[in-house]
């Protein structure tokens, strides 16, 4: 069962922020352009991994004693 909270709440916003950093903000920075592109790409890739991980999360039953 997929976890919508993880996929939609964390994964997609990270992908969007990474894209904004890599595509929009990086061209405006002249001296640190490569670093901003790298950080934006890294955030986007981590967002994709978290999104995919959210699809494979299984809910476990609580053990009551």
CA distance 51 to 62: 25
Predicted TM-score (pTM) of the model is 0.79
pLDDT score of 60: 76
Is 17 inside a domain boundary?
Answer: yes
Place of tokens 């595509």: 23
pLDDT average, residue stretch 23-32: 88
User: What share of the chain has pLDDT > 70, as a percent?
Assistant: 97
Average confidence score pLDDT of the chain: 88
Instruction: Count up the domains in the chain and report the number.
Output: 1
Residue 39's domain comprises 4-55
Task: Indicate if the pLDDT at residue 2 is higher than 70.
Answer: no
Tokens read off for 29: 């920075």
* Residue 28, in any domain of the structure: yes
In a domain, 36, yes or no: yes
pLDDT value at 48 more than 90 = yes
Q: Which helix (H) or strand (E) holds 54?
A: helix 33-55
């Amino acid at each position: 069962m997929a976890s919508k909270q993880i996929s939609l709440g964390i994964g997609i916003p990270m992908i969007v922020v990474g894209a904004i950093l890599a595509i929009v903000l990086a061209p405006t920075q002249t001296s640190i352009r490569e670093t901003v592109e790298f950080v934006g790409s890294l955030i986007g890739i981590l967002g994709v991994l978290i999104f995919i991980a959210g699809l494979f999360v299984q809910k476990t039953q609580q053990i009551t004693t």
